[in-house]
């Protein structure tokens, strides 16, 4: 398994229902701030078992240890008040899945992925830009790649940068052809 970044368009079979879960959050005034300038956590959202199975199939390993909210299975919002990231960020787990739920993102909105070119923390090299697209899943190895998000947009859940995010580890299958002597 050598993958570090996968993009799957039209990932969720019912993205309107997933977006509806975020829009139906009962108390949007008490959202948790992710970090200064990084947006807000709208609320926890479980990870559908079929989504975990689809990602397991894509990666050839079993998704395990989905981190409990607020670090996984959450909705996140970056509205017009959230500036673009000026430094790369890394997730606290080995893998992260992000499903974009914004129906009309501006063309410049998206995630820039970076890789460290040496051991120095400040030495990052851009390796990919993934534009936002409704129901696009970006699956990336957060222990290897850093990311920067473009500025937020919109004024709330219905027209802002809305995503469903979850973080996890993997259990690799046993080596094929291995046998006891």
pLDDT, one tens digit per residue, over 36-87 is 566 777 777 778 888 888 988 888 888 876 765 555 678 888 999 899 988 8
What is the model's pTM? Answer: 0.85
C-alpha separations of 169 from 11, 34, 46, 176 in Å:
20, 21, 16, 21
Instruction: Give the separation between CA 177 and CA 103, rounded to whole angstroms.
Output: 47
Instruction: Give the separation between CA 76 and CA 81, rounded to whole angstroms.
Output: 14
Whether the Cβ atoms of residue 65 and residue 73 lie closer than 8 Å to each other: no
């Amino acid at each position: 398994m050598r993958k570090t970044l996968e993009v799957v368009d039209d990932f969720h079979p019912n993205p309107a229902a997933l977006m509806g879960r975020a829009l139906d959050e009962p108390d949007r005034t008490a959202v948790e701030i992710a970090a200064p300038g990084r947006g807000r956590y709208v609320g926890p959202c479980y990870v559908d078992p079929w989504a975990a199975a689809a990602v397991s199939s894509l990666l050839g390993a079993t998704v395990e240890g989905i981190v409990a909210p607020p670090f996984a299975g959450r909705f996140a919002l970056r509205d017009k008040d959230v500036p673009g990231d000026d430094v790369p960020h890394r997730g606290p787990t080995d893998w992260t899945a992000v499903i974009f739920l914004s129906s009309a993102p501006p063309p410049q909105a998206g995630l820039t992925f970076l890789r460290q070119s040496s051991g120095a923390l400040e030495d990052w090299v851009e390796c990919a830009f993934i534009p936002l697209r409704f129901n696009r899943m970006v699956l990336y190895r957060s222990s290897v790649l850093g990311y920067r998000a473009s500025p937020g947009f919109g004024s709330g859940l219905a027209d802002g940068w809305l995503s469903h995010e979850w973080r996890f580890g993997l259990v690799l299958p046993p080596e094929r052809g291995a046998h006891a002597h």
